[in-house]
Amino acid sequence: MFYSRIALGFLLSFACDAGAQKPVTASKLSTKPLAPPKTYVTAVAQKGDDAVALLTRYGLHEYDCNESQFFKINSLRKGSNVKVAATYKLPVEVVTYNGRSIRTTLNIDDWRVAKRIETYNKYALEEGLRTDNFLQTKRLWVPWHELNCPEKRKVAVAEASLAAAKNERDVPPGLGEKSIGKTARNYSILGKKYQHTPLLSSKLKGKVFYLVSGHGGPDSGAQGKRSGRTLCEDEYAYDVTLRLLRLLLSHGATAYMIVRDPNDGIRDTEFLNCDEDEVVWGNRVVPRDQKERLQQRCDIINDFTKQNAKAGLDDQTFIEIHVDSRSHEHKTDVFFYYRPDSEISHKLALHMQKVFLMKYLKKRNQRGYTGTVTPRALYMLEQTTTPKAVYIELANIRNSWDQQRLVIKNNRQAVANWICEALLSQ
């Protein structure tokens, strides 16, 4: 017992002496708690996949930083190949949703970022990339770029579009695809085959048109299937709109092609490849969020509407072209929406419908024509300030009969011809 007390005293004395020589503070003894490891969405590589293909499948390829992060979190050298059937982490973090809001969950203030993240989760669910709704399971998917590199979107698309714009030699900046005279009438936006556009008349001189083909960029719109191929709404709407653009220019109009593809001019093939490289006027990238996307287009149109009105150009028309989507059994004829409470828009839509009806009667089409004219409070119709506005739906992209109006080039041209005829005779 005595020995134990001596030993204990010696040990305490040693500890005190050691402490005197080198004090041990509380901060030295404590350790900072480690942050829990991040959880990422995973995907299995398929045959023919590389890193870009994996990122594209999950809608992440538009940001360079996503690609860099992919290699980092998978401990791969940049540019490394991926192995078939191997599982890889994607630059999408899984965060526990607090049940209140995305902003409070992520401790961010920007409503637009939160909205884009919400849209991405809906997109992933609709595309079958995930099977659960984050609102129920509290598993929120947060793409890496949204919080770490929101301003570093790839600029290759914009640069390509800018290069194309520079080739449109007779298009003064800010004046749209303007018909100036009988010479130098080449518009590269129409593609090599159709870029030369002869001036047939001056019937539309002094008239301004803002043409919008629906969707584009990250949003392909409705889709249909034909002969094992995918039909994307934005591609067929774009082709018909380009054909209409060329016709308007050939009659002396000033026209603005708001959605623009640097690679795809007018195409005569049956199947138009789906892509996401569309931009809008000014080489601006197309936002993923729908409201941002629509507002961007409205802002462009409204700015030019104001400028052209100041220049004395009061006859201005906004036309948006889409392809409808319904059950595959449902056939639809070309139909029209007009701006609610706008008599001038209503009158133009009715005139377009009349022209289509007369064309069907002239062709003695046994099916007849049942296209309708309806007021509808669509965002683009309500938020644009042009005097006239009409929104056109071409066909049901899922119906095999209606698809003929889309895949046959002569039918696409006929639709553009009839719209132009209505605008010439209004």
DSSP letters along 64-75, please? Answer: HHHHHHHHHHTT
Percent of the chain predicted with pLDDT > 70: 82
Q: How confident is the model at residue 367 (pLDDT cuts 50, 70, 90)?
A: low
Give domain status of residue 65, yes or no: yes
Give domain status of residue 389, yes or no: yes
Give domain status of residue 16, yes or no: no
Give domain status of residue 18, yes or no: no
pLDDT at 9 > cutoff 50: no
Cβ(230)–Cβ(223) under 8 Å?
yes
Mean pLDDT calculated for residue range 226-253: 95
What pLDDT, on a 0 to 100 scale, did the predictor assign at position 179?
58
User: Cα separation of 412 and 33, whole Å?
Assistant: 64
Give domain status of residue 78, yes or no: yes
pLDDT at 8 > cutoff 60: no
Looking at the fold, whether 271 and 392 belong to one and the same domain comes out as yes
Domain range for 62: 40-148
Domain count, the chain: 2
Give domain status of residue 1, yes or no: no
Looking at the fold, whether 243 and 307 belong to one and the same domain comes out as yes
Span 37-67, pLDDT tens digits: 889 999 999 887 788 888 878 888 767 788 8
DSSP per residue, 304-368: HHHHHHHTT---EEEEEEEEE---TT-----EEEE-TT-HHHHHHHHHHHHHHHHHHHHTT-TT-
What pLDDT, on a 0 to 100 scale, did the predictor assign at position 182?
54
Cβ(311)–Cβ(208) under 8 Å?
no
Span 373-409, pLDDT tens digits: 999 999 999 999 999 999 999 999 999 999 999 999 9
The H or E element that residue 417 is part of is helix 409-425
Give domain status of residue 12, yes or no: no
Which residue type, as a one-letter code, is found at position 99?
A: G
User: Cα separation of 400 and 193, whole Å?
Assistant: 29
Provide the 8-state DSSP code for 162: H
Total-model pTM: 0.61
What pLDDT, on a 0 to 100 scale, did the predictor assign at position 13?
40
Residue located via tokens 């906004």: 318
Looking at the fold, whether 301 and 199 belong to one and the same domain comes out as yes
pLDDT at 3 > cutoff 60: no
Number of H helices, E strands in the chain: 15, 15
Q: How confident is the model at residue 365 (pLDDT cuts 50, 70, 90)?
A: low
CB atoms inside a 10 Å sphere around CB 415:
23
Boundary residue ending a domain (126, 148, 170)? 148
